[in-house]
Structures are given as C-alpha cells and as structure tokens.
Structure 1
C-alpha cells in the first residue's frame, strides 16, 4: 500500500513535468493506460488476498484509495488538456 502511494506520487510528479515541458498529450494518455492496467492487476491480486482470510475492510480501503488517486489523476489530465487547448486558442 505504501509502495502504491509512492508510485502515485512519483507518477503525478512525472505528469506535472510532462505538462510543463509541453510533452505530447498522447504520452500522458499512455501513462494513464499503463496505470489503469497496473491497477487492474493489483485488484485481481486483491481478490486472492480476500481468499486468504484477510480483512475485507482493509482490502476495500486499499481499493478505494487506489480508485480515488486514479480519478484525481484523470481529472488533472483533463484539466491540463483543456488548459493547453485554451492557451493555444489564445495564441492563435
């Protein structure tokens, strides 16, 4: 769980750097896709944890934290994209 939060922080820093350096939007989309795939694997692994009599509450909390961070990153991505389009239209 701590490792997951570290990864989230690391990747959000990366996405901030990408937007500042004007990286292509496609790169950010690919990053989101990769993170989504990684999370899908994580939650498949969580199903095994439940079978090992771990507390359901703890697993649910981990799932909700992951979902929460992922949604925040999607929202930031959309805001970044809209900001880029807005600044392009101002320049033109």
Structure 2
C-alpha cells in the first residue's frame, strides 16, 4: 500500500497561492488517488519548465471527491493544487506520496 500525504491548501486561492505536489523528477509519475479532504473546491494543475501555469489539463475536485490518478499535461514539469478563488474554508488534499 502506498504512503498517503495530506497537505493544507491556502484558501482562497489565486494565481500565486498554491501548493506544489511534485517536482521535475516525480511529475512524470503523476499523483495517485488524489482526494479533496477539505471544505473548498480544489483544482489540480501543472506548471511548465519555466514555472508558468498551464491552462490545459486542469481538474477540479469538489469536497469529498476523488479520482484514480492525475497526470500533468504534456510539457508539465510540476503538479500543483490550489483552492477556489471564492472559498474561505479549509483546503486539504490527500494523495499517494509520489516516489521517484
């Protein structure tokens, strides 16, 4: 069984208020079983090699929702999570800890 990691996600989110989940080494493996364990809608996305936000491949998770796996779109170097712009609650994401 994979180790699980839970991260607090600052709410409300904005273009610079996000949490990096992977790095250039672990990003190709994606993250397994991401689950929104907080009170606010979360978005999973990616940054490119230059650290710029990619607007393709974004996946939204409502509180209590989970998916099997998230992979960054082609060209993604880092996977991140951010909280909804309109939520003042508690943001939290639990996922399988990526291994290189």
TM-score, normalized by length of structure 1? 0.27
Higher relative contact order (CA 8 A, sep 6+): 2
Point out the structure with max Rg over C-alpha: 1
Structure with higher strand content: 2
TM-score, normalized by length of structure 2? 0.26
